[in-house]
Amino acid sequence: MGESLHCDLCGKPAQVHLTQIVKNQIQKVDLCEECAKTSGVTDPEGFSLADLLAKSFTGPAEESEGANLVCEQCGSSARDFRKTGRLGCAACYGALQPVVLPLLAGLHKGARHKGKAPARQWRRLELTREIESLERQMQEAIKGEDLETAARCRDQLGALRAKLEGPVAAS
């Protein structure tokens, strides 16, 4: 039918052509039958063009910044991300930042999280900060030979550390 288009993912002749408009931007994708299937276009549950574009954004042409980055935590690379559209682990967001961050602006409403946070993680963060400040106080008290204050700090530290470890031990 008319011009022959090639699959954006593998280059074979394209059979499936999709257009989606997001924020007044027209996005077009052409796919071969196989890639259409594996990319989930035929799956009404999981498909969005944005997902697919996240992959083709980072398509073969772009070999510039961050192309050789590798995440030390899990060993996955910017190249892996380009191929699959998926990151390897949570640390990849830091390790592959130059590749990932520019994408987010195009995909989302903003670049900063405004939603909920895991309560326990905030509690832990607060506890950690409290412990750090108490440790400083204790060191100063020891330096100043104020043993009474140092002892009080030590007791409080013990209680806070137990609190910090409590829920962790349970998991």
Partner 1 sequence: MNILPILDTPAEVVPGGSPPGPIVLSTRIRLARNLRDFPFPGWAKEAQRREIFARCAQAAQDTAPMKKAYVLDLAALDDLEKQVLVERHLISRELSAGAQGAGVIISRDQSMSVMINEEDHLRVQVMRPGFQFKRVWKMADALDNGLEEKLDLAFSAELGYLTACPTNVGTGLRASVMMHLPGLVLASQMEQAIRAVNQLGLAVRGWYGEGSEASGSIFQISNQQTLGESEEEIIKRITSVLQTIVEQEQNARAKLMESDSAKLLDKIGRAFGTVRNAHVMTSVEAMNCLSLLRLAADLGLLPETERSRIDRLLIESQPGHVQLAARGTLETQKRDVARARFLREQVASLPVLNFDRAFEKN
Residue placing its CB nearer to partner 1 in the complex, 47 or 142? 47
Q: Identify which of residues 10 and 104 has a Cβ nearer to partner 1 in the complex.
A: 104
Q: For residues 107 and 130, what is the distance between their CA atoms, to the nearest angstrom? A: 37
Which of residues 23 and 143 has its CB atom nearest to partner 1 in the complex? Answer: 23
Question: Quick one: 155 or 165, whose CB is closer to partner 1?
Answer: 165
- Least CB distance to partner 1 at residue 30 (A): 18
Residues 11 and 17: their CA atoms lie apart, in Å, by 14
Burial zone of 71 (CB within 10 Å; 0-12 exposed, 13-18 middle, 19+ buried)? buried
What CA–CA distances, in Å, run from 21 to 16, 27, 29, 42, 170?
17, 6, 12, 19, 47
We find the least distance from the C-beta atom of residue 36 to partner 1, in angstroms, to be 12
Least distance to partner 1, CB of residue 138, Å: 28
Residue ranges in contact with partner 1 by CB under 8 A: 20-24, 40, 42-48, 50-51, 54, 74, 76, 80, 84-90, 93, 100, 103-104, 107-121, 167-168, 170-171
**Spatial CA neighbour of 159 closest among 121, 130, 125, 137:** 130
